[in-house]
């Protein structure tokens, strides 16, 4: 049985409590309870990642292609948690973190095609242990700067030795083209205080439009290929 070899090698690292050097001082002040809370968020992220991996495997068996190109997860750093609460004028305690921040745990699912974004989101939301808290469709209704993605905030249970806890996770689903634009825009502008001219903003917006156009063309091509495959299959069966 090639059992142990098949285990994802990154799991032990993921369950480790956070120890980034930049956050260590602040973390130490918060004590072990904060580290415990962050570990719970990490476990919730792992639950969601696994659910998407399972959906990807099932879909690939049925349709001979993978709807997921990559999954990236991140835990908000303590300093970023602290900044966000401070910006909102909320004191930073364990209770306020859990009550007010929905995106401490974030999972980003990069999909192959536009259609995959919705197929995967719907499949996840049909699972009976997932509760949808909020849904923002920036694909149907892009942000003013051109940003597109489907955002879900969900609550997912994690099963500990002697308790079951509901944890919030922010999920961003987007295509490869959407991710390309958002990643570069994040580097260039998002939340940076640098001077950004109207021309630069216009250029970024046009790039967003081009990426949306690319998604539409690739989706149309996918449909053609799938129709061809179906025709080929019918011919073979006759
Ligand atoms: P980071 O650095 O990616 O973690 P919030 O800002 O979360 O309190 P809001 O406005 O309801 O409240 O959040 P929204 O619109 O759902 O967006 C949250 C996340 O989406 C952001 O997280 C980004 O990751 C991403 N996002 C939203 N708008 C943009 C955008 O214009 N450009 C890019 N590149 N990403 C965007 P964070 O925590 O703000 O940032």
Given a contact cutoff of 8 angstroms between Cβ atoms, the answer to whether 219 and 114 are in contact is: yes
> Does the structure show a pLDDT above 80 at 17?
no
What is the per-residue pLDDT for 27?
58
For the CA of 182, the nearest atom of ligand 1: 34
Lowest-pLDDT choice from 25-29, 75-79, 165-169, 225-229: 25-29
pLDDT 10s digits, 181-220: 999 998 888 666 777 888 999 999 999 999 999 999 999 9
Tokens of 119: 């197929």
Is 174 close to ligand 1, i.e. is its CB under 6 Å away? Answer: no
Cα 213-216-219 angle, rounded to 5 deg: 150
Ligand 1 pocket residue status of 41, Cβ below 6 Å:
no
C-beta separation of 42 from 76 below 8 A: no
Q: Whose CA is nearest to atom 5 of ligand 1?
A: 103
pTM of the model: 0.86
Check pocket membership of 143 for ligand 1, CB cut-off 6 A.
Answer: yes
Two tokens, residue 160:
């500990």
pLDDT of residue 12 exceeding 70: no
Antiparallel, parallel or unpaired: β 105-111 and 68-75: antiparallel
Q: What is the DSSP string of 28-96?
A: HHH-HHHHHHHHHHHHHHHHHHHHHHHHHHHHHHHHSS-SEEEEEEEE--HHHHHHHHHHTT----HHH
Please list, in sequence order, all residues whose beta carbon lies within 8 angstroms of the beta carbon of residue 33, skipping any fewer than 6 positions away.
Answer: 94
Does ligand 1 have an atom closer than 6 angstroms to the CB of 136? yes
pLDDT digits (tens, 9 = 90+) for 40-54: 999 999 999 999 999
What pLDDT score was predicted for residue 91? 86
State if residue 103 touches ligand 1 by the CB under 6 angstroms criterion: yes
Phi/psi of residue 86, nearest 5 degrees: -65, -45
Task: Yes or no: say if 215 and 178 are a contact pair by the CB < 8 Å rule.
Answer: yes
Phi, psi (rounded to 5 degrees) for 41:
-60, -40
pLDDT, residue 191, reads 63
Pocket probe mutation, ligand 1, options 84, 99, 103, 106, max atoms within 8 Å of Cβ: 103
Q: pLDDT higher for 229 or 105?
A: 105
Mapped onto helix, strand or coil, the DSSP state of residue 101 is coil
Q: Is the pLDDT of residue 16 over 90?
A: no
Single out the residue of 233, 225, 224, 149 nearest to residue 186, CA to CA.
149
Closest by Cα among 96, 190, 84, 192 to 147: 190
Q: What are 81-140's pLDDT values in tens digits?
A: 988 998 999 988 888 999 999 999 999 999 999 999 999 999 999 999 999 999 999 999
pLDDT tens across 147-176, in order? 999 999 999 999 999 999 999 999 999 999
In angstroms, what is the span from residue 53 Cα to ligand 1's centroid? Answer: 24
Contacts of 146 (CB under 8 A, 6+ apart): 181, 185, 204, 205, 207, 208, 209, 212
């Amino acid at each position: 049985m090639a059992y142990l070899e098949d285990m994802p090698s990154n799991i032990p690292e993921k369950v480790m409590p956070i120890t980034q050097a930049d956050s260590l001082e602040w973390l130490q002040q918060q004590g072990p309870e904060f580290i415990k809370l962050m570990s719970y968020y990490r476990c919730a992220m792992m639950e969601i990642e696994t659910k998407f991996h399972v959906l990807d495997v099932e879909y690939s068996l049925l349709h001979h292609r993978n709807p997921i190109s990559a999954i990236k997860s991140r835990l908000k750093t303590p300093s970023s948690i602290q900044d966000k609460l401070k910006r909102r004028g909320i004191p930073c305690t364990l209770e306020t973190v859990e009550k007010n921040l929905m995106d401490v745990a974030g999972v980003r699912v990069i999909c192959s095609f536009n259609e995959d974004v919705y197929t995967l989101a719907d499949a996840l939301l049909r699972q009976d242990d997932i509760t949808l808290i909020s849904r923002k469709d920036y694909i149907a209704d892009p942000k003013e700067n051109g940003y597109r993605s489907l955002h879900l905030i969900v609550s997912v249970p994690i099963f500990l030795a002697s308790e079951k806890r509901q944890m919030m996770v922010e999920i961003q689903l987007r295509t490869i083209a959407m991710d390309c634009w958002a990643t570069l825009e994040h580097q260039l502008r998002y939340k940076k205080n640098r001077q950004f001219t109207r021309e630069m903003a216009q250029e970024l917006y046009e790039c967003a439009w081009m990426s949306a156009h690319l998604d539409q063309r690739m989706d149309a091509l996918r449909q053609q290929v799938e129709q061809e495959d179906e025709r080929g299959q019918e011919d073979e069966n006759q």
